[in-house]
Structure 1
């Protein structure tokens, strides 16, 4: 199966050939690696890559499935479409919450209450396992409430920022 890996502005093609259970071969830019993996949880995957042990941390983000290994976060893209895991719809189908993918610490709040935000705009930065992840607005709206402070420890399913989709048009009309 063909994927693209995106890290910051760099996009790299990835070819994955499934092997026996818990094994696959990955080819990145002509370099081949044999990989064996297990699963501790949906977010923690121990791996052995060409004999070297690594721990991968998986997070479902608005942009797609992010995999963090050795301090680098890679976004997996299949057929030019991010591999997103969405459990809730946008504002018309119920709110999407901005929550951390794993236990983390808030390192930076990028917005203030009352700010208009666009879908995909960075809202808050959290750090876990010495890796920063920017959490983005799931839809256009206005920041109604910031529920955390910088330096605060947060956990999955904890809503960090409330965005009200109903006031976007009103804010744009008043401007």
Structure 2
């Protein structure tokens, strides 16, 4: 079975190759041996193909935040079936994945956008991420502005689909 994760703005496909004696994951197109040891207060050791990384991990709902080698990563498990189901409930409504603050609004109402276009930059837990269009369409309504705070699941932007 294949899984998909968003790491920053990149979608990465992961598939387990071996779960017996050691964990081997196919990440992108490369097989990696993975060892993950939890410590106290979010501290952990991650070993990829024998190279050890001191890291810290925090979780917020479906999102996992990782600090490793002086860099910060947001990892989100992505289930296309769940996304499709959610899209049918509120077609074109893009909701906040976590609480945070708007750093920058990158579009205006009436702008035409394509699927994957950058709409907003948001910040949560001192990490910035990009909110992207889920479909081709026209920006119908923007519910936030730069500096405004929002809660998880608040509607940030509505896209009127071209379908």
**Interval of TM-score (by shorter of Structure 1 and Structure 2):** 0.5 to 0.7
- Residue 105 of structure 1 corresponds to which residue in structure 2? 101
Deviations 1:94-118 (A, max 9, x none): 5142112111110111100110111
CA distance in 1, matches of 2:17, 2:100: 30
Higher strand share: 2
Using structure 1 for the length normalisation, give the TM-score.
0.60
5+ residue gaps, structure 2, are: 47-51
Q: Which 10-residue stretch deviates more, 47-56 or 108-117?
A: 47-56
5+ residue gaps, structure 1, are: 38-45, 61-65, 77-81, 170-175
SS at match of 2:93: coil
SS at match of 2:94: coil
Q: What's the CA shift for 1:68?
A: 3.0
- Residue 146 of structure 1 corresponds to which residue in structure 2? 142
Using structure 2 for the length normalisation, give the TM-score.
0.63
Q: 1:32 to 1:151 in 2, by over 3 A?
A: same
- 1:88-99 aligned within 5 A: 88-89=86-87, 94-99=90-95
Q: 2:115 aligns with which of 107, 112, 119?
A: 119
Aligned length: 145
- Residue 57 of structure 2 corresponds to which residue in structure 1? 55
- Residue 42 of structure 1 corresponds to which residue in structure 2? none
Q: 1:100 to 1:89 in 2, by over 3 A?
A: closer
Deviations 1:57-86 (A, max 9, x none): 4676xxxxx64311123466xxxxx64441
CA distance in 2, matches of 1:136, 1:108: 13
- Residue 66 of structure 2 corresponds to which residue in structure 1? 69
User: Is the Cα contact below 8 Å between 1:99 and 1:157 reproduced in 2?
Assistant: yes
Q: 1:17 to 1:56 in 2, by over 3 A?
A: farther
CA distance in 2, matches of 1:10, 1:148: 26
SS at match of 1:89: helix
Q: Which 10-residue stretch deviates more, 104-113 or 26-35?
A: 26-35
